[in-house]
Amino acid sequence: RKEVEQDPGPFNVPEGATVAFNCTYSNSASQSFFWYRQDCRKEPKLLMSVYSSGNEDGRFTAQLNRASQYISLLIRDSKLSDSATYLCVVGSGGSYIPTFGRGTSLIVHP
C-alpha cells in the first residue's frame, strides 16, 4: 500500500467551479502536511502547508483530518491558471524525507 494516495484525475471543471481533492496517508505518526503545485514541465512548488486547525489562502482551503488520516484541498472559483497537478506531501517529523503522492491533475476549461 502506497504511503500517500491521491486520485490521479484528471478533474475537468469549468471556470468558476469549486473543486476538492483528498489525499490519504498511512503513517499515523505523520506530523506535517503540504500541498504542492506542479505546472506542466515545471518543478513542484509549495502551494500551502496544512495545519491542524485548517488554513485558508484566498481561494484555497486546506484541511487535515487526523482521525481518518486524510488531508484535503478545496479550490473555489476556479481559474484557467489553476490547471496543474497538485501533489500531496506528508512528513513524519523525525525523518528528513517527506513522502509525495503521485498527484492529482486539474484541468479548468472556459
Partner 1 sequence: DVKVTQSSRYLVKRTGEKVFLECVQDMDHENMFWYRQDPGLGLRLIYFSYDVKMKEKGDIPEGYSVSREKKERFSLILESASTNQTSMYLCASQWKVGRGRKEETQYFGPGTRLLVL
Question: Distance of CA 40 to CAs 3, 71, 82, 105, 107, Å?
Answer: 24, 23, 12, 10, 11
Q: Measured from the CB atom, is 18 or 32 closer to partner 1?
A: 32
Cα–Cα dist 89/25, whole Å: 9
Nearest to 69 by CA among 97, 106, 40, 30: 30
Mask for 17-56, x = binds partner 1 (CB under 8 A)? ---------------x-x-------xxxxx--x-------
Nearest to 23 by CA among 53, 50, 55: 50
Nearest approach, Cβ of 60 to partner 1 (angstroms)?
Answer: 16
Interface segment toward partner 1; rule CB under 8 A; list 22-30, 61-69, 74-82, 97-105: 97-105
Q: Which of 11, 21, 23, 103 binds partner 1 (CB under 8 A)?
A: 103
Single-letter amino acid code for the residue at 87:
L
Q: Measured from the CB atom, is 45 or 59 closer to partner 1?
A: 45
Residues near partner 1 (CB under 8 A) are: 8, 32, 34, 42-46, 49, 87, 89, 91, 93-98, 100-103
